[in-house]
Amino acid sequence: MTLRVIGFSLLGLFSSKWLSLPNLLSTQTLNLLLICFSVVTLVSLIGRYPILPSVRGTSVPIGLFVGVLEVFVSMVGSADGSLIERVTAIYIPLTIGIIVSYLLQTFDETATDQTHSEQQSDKVWVHLTTLVLLFLLTGGYLDITRDDFALMFVFNEYSVLFAVSVIALIFSSSEFHADSLGQLLAASGCIICIAAAVIGIATYSASVTTMDPRSLGPAIHLSFAMMYLGSGLIVTANSLGCGPRTHAELRRRDWHLIESFIFLTLIILPPLTLFEVMDLQATGPS
């Protein structure tokens, strides 16, 4: 207990310095994160699922989910804020999700082989309702607070087609025959996010060769729309008690999600390098 107090005290000092950096955390990003975590908490309370494992299991997927929303906002709101501010908003949600996940690990006393199988929801309509609620609340918030955003902009018919095909293949695979509905949907979401990064880089690279914005836009939109759906499936499944079986599986899944998002965004939407910043300062007005 003493070590926890010391650790959280030092972490608090670090966080106060980190969060004081300019343009780090916008009100929009904070509200989107709060909406997502509120949905998870509310669903866990109503369904009487373990709240702490649910919140911890959704922390990284929520960070990815909000990060993807910030990508869409940055694309449609090209005149809103500087380039550096818009890129920062893309990476901050995932950073917060990672920190929250590892902080909650210190309070999670469940056994590493605990599955909570008796508390999982296997009703399709419950998963679908939770997923739609997550989409409507986050998209509705952006739709209300911004004039340049529409919820339907984040959806893509090909991303939905790909997501349904992955879910169908996962359900038919003998490797997952013993898993529950929620675990199958979570596994599908993870695969969709990984595939989104790979397919996104491939289509973006092919589109760059044409130097035609009309082909670049659909390529970027497809990959992030796929990741949006995949992360939403994972958040929904975990909030309904259908998270990974062990802490090791949770960390491995989160690592795959992190590397997929970072891989995709660093190629397509990288922040300015140190030399680019120095060059801008040198060429700017004195």
Q: What is the pLDDT of residues 24-68, one digit of tens each?
A: 678 888 999 999 999 999 998 888 888 888 899 999 999 999 999
| Per-residue pLDDT band at 113 (split at 50, 70, 90) | very low
Residues 185-191, mean pLDDT to the nearest whole number: 92
- State pLDDT tens for residues 201-249: 888 888 777 776 677 778 888 899 999 999 999 999 888 888 787 888 8
Report which of residues 14 and 164 the model is more confident about: 164
Residues 84-110, mean pLDDT to the nearest whole number: 80
User: Residue 180 has what pLDDT?
Assistant: 79
User: Residue 79 has what pLDDT?
Assistant: 47
Sort residue 80 into left (φ over 0), alpha (ψ -120 to 50) or beta.
Answer: beta
| Per-residue pLDDT band at 14 (split at 50, 70, 90) | confident
Name residues whose C-beta falls within 8 Å of residue 272's C-beta, 6 or more positions apart in sequence.
83, 84, 87, 280
Look at residue 108 and tell me whether its pLDDT is greater than 80. Answer: no
Look at residue 145 and tell me whether its pLDDT is greater than 90. Answer: no
Please compute, for residue 90, the number of CA atoms within 13 A of its CA located in the half-sphere on the CB side.
23
Sort residue 48 into left (φ over 0), alpha (ψ -120 to 50) or beta.
Answer: left
Give the separation between CA 110 and CA 239, rounded to whole angstroms: 16
Look at residue 268 and tell me whether its pLDDT is greater than 80. Answer: yes
User: Residue 271 has what pLDDT?
Assistant: 76
Q: What are phi and psi of 167, to 5 degrees?
A: -60, -45
Return contacts of 173-180, CB within 8 angstroms, 24+ apart.
180/117, 180/120, 180/122, 180/242
What is the reported pTM? 0.87
Look at residue 11 and tell me whether its pLDDT is greater than 50. Answer: yes
Q: How many of the other CB atoms lie within 10 Å of CB of 163?
A: 23
Name residues whose C-beta falls within 8 Å of residue 25's C-beta, 6 or more positions apart in sequence.
19, 92, 96
Report which of residues 145 and 229 the model is more confident about: 229
Report which of residues 17 and 142 the model is more confident about: 142
Name residues whose C-beta falls within 8 Å of residue 60's C-beta, 6 or more positions apart in sequence.
94, 97, 98, 101, 254, 257, 258
User: Residue 119 has what pLDDT?
Assistant: 58
| Per-residue pLDDT band at 188 (split at 50, 70, 90) | very high
